[in-house]
Amino acid sequence: MQAKVRVITRALVGTTLAFLLTSAPIAQAYESLDQVLLRDPVSEETFEALRERVAELDRTFNVFARRESQVYFDFAYAQLYRGDLAGAKSTFERGLRLHPSNFDGQIRLAELEVRSGRPQPALERLQFVASRSTDEDQRAYARQLIETHDLEAQRTTLVLPDRFDHRLLMVPIDLVPEALLEAVRSRIEQEFRIRVEIVDGIPLPETLPSRDFLDRLLTEVVAHIEESNSPDELAWFYTFLGLPASGPRTREERERVVLALLNAQEDGAAIWRDWRWRYTVAVDGKALLDHLRSELQAELEEPKTLGVLAITAHDVYNGESGPLFALTPKGAGVIPYVRFFRPQDSYETGLHRTIVQSLSSVVMILGVERATVQHCASAYANSYEEFDQKQDRLCAETLERLIEKYASF
């Protein structure tokens, strides 16, 4: 029975952690944009099917939409075949906000940006392709575009104007180290040129909806065990553990079952430690943000208050998602900093990730779109591997949009 449990446990770990894996970009035979524009259009039926699916994904939470991000790139190509360069540019951008490591999409968008007079973001994304793509044809073509359009010579330094007359509220919730809070505050002020005011911690109401992700996992493990063993074997095992022969009924009993099986494995203790960190009791992120808006309503209604960013030791979820790196609709955001401090990571690594996420969250609080280049602080990351490719600074693409935003203040 232990052998069966070992197989079940390892399979479950792989299944449960699948959402942390990065989708590999689809390799394509490379050709120039001019060549692409000569292709025959797709059928009207195919075009409409892609358009409708993209519209559905636009309404889907990014964690789930990421899984089908290739649909955006397929539709962008269909738009190119029809000669709709503006539509394709917009669609490539939406796809790259979900999957910025799609190198073919990066090159296509760079070509379209060059045509529309935006050399700076085009240069950044082509440099990204030239340094990160595993496809030699893509790397060579990216370098060729940089040289052909003399993009290096068109590089400019983008600087945000000082807007320290505007403020962002930052709220620590529960146990947030002062040093971490101050590092985040300082870096936001430095990068965005706005004032950050730390507000006294706001307690969360006990009635705030929450979800026990560890118990969900325990329930799954027990279900796998019961599917893989006979009723007699199960009755004997449960009785041996001092449980009802019919099986565990409470969270504590499910935990006893799983621990008994893990303790029989050489790596069981390590698996349990990982699960205890990875799967926690998380709070409903939307409900948390609604609570903050209610508590800070007067402050948030002041004309020069840009929004609120909460830093918390609680994990957060949204809808049917698992624990998130952050949740940030326009005007308010929450960062569960504990997500960035894995047991195997150094404090410096966790702090760097928290700062990078804070920059990304402020961009979205201000109502500016995510970046479409992987190294930008405001790019979407679907895994720790992707997250650690991001830098703690804003890219030209995001700075351009912020400069436009600041002009409206």
Mean pLDDT of 262-282: 90
Work out the pLDDT band at 62, boundaries 50, 70, 90. confident
Bigger pLDDT: 26 vs 109: 109
- Map residue 212 onto helix, strand or coil: strand
Task: State the pLDDT at residue 245.
Answer: 93
- For residues 343 and 375, is the Cβ–Cβ distance under 8 A? no
Q: Which long-range contacts (CB under 8 A, 24 or more apart) does 79-88 make?
A: 80/33, 80/36, 80/37, 80/39, 80/108, 81/36, 81/37, 81/39, 81/40, 81/41, 81/42, 82/41, 82/47, 83/37, 85/112, 85/115, 88/112
Can you give the pTM of this predicted structure?
A: 0.80
Task: State the pLDDT at residue 7.
Answer: 37
Task: State the pLDDT at residue 76.
Answer: 97
Mean pLDDT of 392-408: 94
CA atoms of 368 and 380, how far apart (whole Å): 13
Q: pLDDT tens-digit profile of 317-376?
A: 999 888 999 999 999 999 999 999 998 899 999 999 999 999 999 999 999 999 999 899
Q: pLDDT tens-digit profile of 256-270?
A: 999 999 999 999 999
Asked if residue 199 has pLDDT above 80, the reply is yes
Task: State the pLDDT at residue 16.
Answer: 34
DSSP 158-178: --PPPEEEEEEEEEEESS--H
DSSP 332-351: EEEEEGGGG--TTS-HHHHH
Task: State the pLDDT at residue 123.
Answer: 95
Task: State the pLDDT at residue 201.
Answer: 74
